Amino acid sequence: MKKSSIIISFLICFSMIFIQNKSNSQGSSSKNSGASFYYEKGKSYFKAKEYREASIAFSRAIRLDINYGPAYYGRGLAYMNTGRYELAVHDFTRFISTHPNYSLVYYSRGLCYYHLKNYNNALLDFNHVAKHNPKIINVFNIRGRTNYHLKRFHKAIEDFTYFLAHRPNYAFAYLIRGKAYEESKDINEALKNYKMYLKYTKDNKLKDEINNKINELSKLENLKEKINY
């Protein structure tokens, strides 16, 4: 799954702005000043999409102040953007230990678990976000995909239905909801969703495949109707 499909970039760029630029440590002011300097430097690198340099700067902030929570989150985001998901999970977990009410970090950690195919832990984090900050509409999309991987097809359908009520032009959600309906043996609803996917998608590579699937399922439905008749 492409990163753009789960909207990592906008989440990360904007979430960095809202993290408090303060340390929770009790160290010296010069120590905190040095950590803050590298933290700000890491943010600048991050905004420039220089993620390796950002992770180095955040690491320097942490070396100067091991309790500098926002630097763990910043480094976790940098790691996530370079595909180092296990390291990102470690940093997000550390950040959560001091900022347990910050919903976006659960979302970020959930995305990492998702990429690591640890769908059970991903689901726990997405459930937390959906409960405490349902305004993050995208969590229902990615939780729907997670439920689909866990073969919780009815739950996946519920999530995609909620998500599509807010993002009705999002093609890929129709596709996976269609697959969930197909797995649930609701072929009529699957066909409706596959057709909606074709209506909104810009991905020409999948169009032929989905058109073929629609034709096959339509034939099966017609045959079933004749048999039942």
| Domains located in the chain, CATH noted | 1-136 (1.25.40.10), 153-229 (1.25.40.10)
Q: Is the CB of residue 173 less than 8 Å from the CB of residue 192?
A: no
| Residues contacting 89, CB < 8 A, separation 6+ | 76, 109, 112, 113, 116
Q: How many residues does the chain have?
A: 229
Q: Is the CB of residue 197 less than 8 Å from the CB of residue 168?
A: no
Reference 164, options 150, 181, 151; nearest CA is: 181
Burial-class residue 77 by CB neighbours within 10 Å (0-12, 13-18, 19+). Answer: buried
To the nearest 10°, report the CA torsion of 148, 150, 155, 159.
-50
Q: How far apart are CA 15 and CA 200, in angstroms?
A: 29
113-147 residue pLDDT tens: 999 999 999 999 999 999 999 999 999 999 999 99
Residue 2 has pLDDT above 90, yes or no: no
Reference 123, options 144, 137, 95; nearest CA is: 144
- Residue 24: pLDDT band with limits 50, 70, 90: very low
Query: How many other C-beta atoms lie within 10 A of the C-beta of residue 130?
Result: 19
Give the DSSP letter of residue 19. S
Q: How far apart are CA 142 and CA 1, in angstroms?
A: 11
The stretch 188-202 carries a mean pLDDT of 96
43-86 residue pLDDT tens: 999 999 999 999 999 999 999 999 999 999 999 999 999 999 99
Reference 15, options 123, 95, 119, 118; nearest CA is: 95
Q: Is the CB of residue 78 less than 8 Å from the CB of residue 97?
A: no
- Which residue type sits at 22? K
CA 109 to chain centre: 8
